[in-house]
Amino acid sequence: MRWFGLFTIMIATLAAASPPPVIHNLGQVKNGLGAIAIAMNSDGTVVVGKAKVDDRWLAMRWTAEEGMHLIGDDPSLTKSEARVVSDDGQKVFGFAERGDDRFGFSWTSESGMTKLPVPKEWQYGFPWDISGDGRTVVGSVSSHQGQLLACRWVDGDEAELLGPNRDLVQRSVAYAVSHNGVFVTGYIEYRDITQATAFRWSEHDGMLVTEPPVPESWSYGSSISNDGRTIVGYEFGPTLRGIRWTPETGWQYLNETGVFVSLYTFRASAYGVAAAGGSLSVNESSNAVYYRDNFGMIRLRWPALDMDYNGVWLRHGLDISLTGEKMLVSGSNNGVEMCFLITGLPRVDGLCLPDFTDDSVLDIADVQIFLDHYSIGSTEADFVRDGSIDFFDLQDFLSRFAAGCP
């Protein structure tokens, strides 16, 4: 019950007037033997992924009105999966195999499944993320020799490579694009440096390669905010932890050493203050996690939430809505893969950090609480998120306090 208590306290503090979060089972396709969600659109009304029918995993799409159904169900496909979906839910992109033929695809109800175009010297494309309007898709292209390079597709045109000359790069992948389509993040590994490093790319600035959290670690950017100033991802190196980057702070850890051994495939809201992901505990048991500024990491365990699905294991937080109110989660029960949607999480666009009393009014009570945290060096007073409690946090608090709540 410990984690349920933490989750309840967080929700009660952030949204005292709101009902508690609700967890929805998204069901299965007709005659389905399991379903794995991969992504959802920005408001969480459309979910895509893959479903098992007979002995094949095939691309699926879910809405509350239509339920879960297969898309592009071609009997000749060995397997397929839908990986991203546009805001309106009409454009879906994914990856499929037909025997030895591998290809990225786009899908609409009108055109069906079509291959993503790649330059002739490349074998196939693999989509990882999509902008809200569906115009920009990012991912990687693979050569016949197995080299991966980050790329993007704009308005259905042929894949455009991102970053430096391919002769300098061992491999790179674009894992995420901001909701507005401007910024891209992922990782790059140069031929002369055996180390993967997270990057931020834009058409205006080109590729910015970030400094790793520690010199020997590998870093991966897996989501980026609309303004390009916040990247979340994960570190692989001396430690395996979720990380967040801003220009001011560089990389910071999202969780303390020893709490979680590993965090992976982290997704952030467009505002960069809420995120969903998965963790591996010391005994290698995986759990979905939810992160929120000023509250840190919350590990979600379904049985402790007193829901009706006894024995369900919430294994991985897959995606989070634009405003942080919905979270897509994978799970399993008796070996059957399942998909879940958590709704009723607090919005992040209206978050007012100096409002410690959560009454939408900034007054002396909030000042006193901040000063109490400040005096004992609590992380809740770390307003500039640099790991230190000092004058800069006080200055930032006072600036936000003077600006008032949104």
Tell me: the pLDDT tens digits for 297-351?
666 654 444 333 446 777 778 888 877 788 898 888 777 899 999 888 776 655 5
Q: Are strands 206-209 and 218-224 parallel, antiparallel or unpaired?
A: unpaired
pLDDT at 321: 84
Which amino acid is located at 146 in the chain? G
**What's 2's DSSP letter?**
H
CATH number of 2-348: 2.130.10.10
pLDDT at 180: 84
The pLDDT of 147-156, averaged and rounded, is: 95
3-state SS assignment for residue 78: coil
The answer to whether the beta carbons of residues 261 and 280 sit under 8 Å apart is yes
Residues 6+ away with beta carbon under 8 Å from 283: none
Residues 6+ away with beta carbon under 8 Å from 162: 138, 149, 150, 151, 152, 172, 174, 184, 201, 207
pLDDT at 120: 87
Distance separating alpha carbons of residues 294 and 208, to the nearest angstrom: 28
7 falls in which pLDDT band (50, 70, 90)?
A: very low
CATH number of 352-406: 1.10.1330
Task: Enumerate the domain spans of the chain.
Answer: 2-348, 352-406
The answer to whether the beta carbons of residues 268 and 223 sit under 8 Å apart is yes
Burial class (CB in 10 A: 0-12, 13-18, 19+), 231: buried
pLDDT tens-digit profile of 21-80?
Answer: 788 899 999 999 999 999 999 889 999 999 999 999 999 999 999 999 999 888 999 999
Q: Say whether pLDDT at 161 is over 90.
A: yes
Average pLDDT score, the chain:
81
Record the pTM.
0.76
Cβ of 28: how many Cβ atoms within 10 Å? Answer: 21
Burial 260-299 (b: 16+ CB within 10 A, else e): bbbbbbbbbbbbbbbbbbbbeeeeeebbbbbbbbbbebbb
